[in-house]
Amino acid sequence: MFRGRFVAATPGGGLAAGRCGASTGGKGRASVPEVSRRFVILPSPLLGTATYAPLAASLTEREAPTAVASVPDGDVTPERVLAGFRAAVAEHGPTVLVAHSNAGYYAPAVAADLDLPVIFMDAALPAEGESETLLAPAAFAEFIQTLPIRDGLLPLWPLWWDRADIATLFPDEDWLDLVTSEGPRLAPAYFTTPIAVPRGWEARPAAYLAFGDTYAAELAFAERVGWEVRRESGHHLGHLAEPGRVAELVLELSSGLSRET
């Protein structure tokens, strides 16, 4: 998910190979044993699942079995998204969740079920101290209201932007076409339907991986509450631009996480 118009909200270019202003936090938590690490990626319901496959493969190749949760077919409602995410966790038994973009709103509720650590990857976050959250900040919700509606649904996410601008996020035109053809269409009501947020979610084990400055406020929040953080140059689909590099960062961050007891 982006804040405001696409070009202004998301820097162009690929994900840089080196760290850019990386900083760390944390509160002396024990690490998740590396031999036991298993991940479930919670994909953005706006984007679909395709762009996460290379990252899942890269993590699995590094002896960290990884599955990508599904996005519902047909009617994509917050209730159905949350149920699908919980079903993926029950099926695959992860030790760590990785939540990207809009999925960050859901991650606290999914993680609370089994007290799982979360790596928020260029992700939205619920407001601190609130018992529920909408699925878009106010400025972004206003932008959504400007989009055309057909059959009660918004266009596919890549069609929200000029093709020349959105293409900079993808390795090639084939990737852009794949995501455009397979992605979900959401109703405007998706963004105005609240979901519950567990009390004290920000105190649970978590880390934040940012690509560029799109989620600067969320990164600052993560630093303030003591999460371990990394800030990389690049763009919102950094996990697709360099899945191997991002896999290494995810593994590094997961080493600093543990379940609370």
- In order of their start, the domains of the chain are 6-26+39-254 (3.40.50.1820)
Measured between its terminal Cα atoms, the distance across the chain in Å is 33
- pLDDT of 229-261, one tens digit each? 999 988 999 999 999 999 999 999 999 885 443
- pLDDT of 174-201, one tens digit each? 999 999 998 999 999 999 999 999 999 9
Q: What is the distance, to the nearest Å, from the Cα of residue 101 to the centroid of all Cα atoms in its chain?
A: 4
What pLDDT sits at residue 36?
78
CA 15 – CA 49 distance, rounded (Å): 20
Give the three-class secondary structure for 120.
strand
What pLDDT sits at residue 260?
41
CA 133 – CA 137 distance, rounded (Å): 9
What pLDDT sits at residue 138?
87
One-letter amino acid of 245 = R
| Nearest residue to 122 (alpha-carbon basis) of 232, 45, 40, 200 | 232
Q: Does residue 160 have a pLDDT over 70?
A: yes
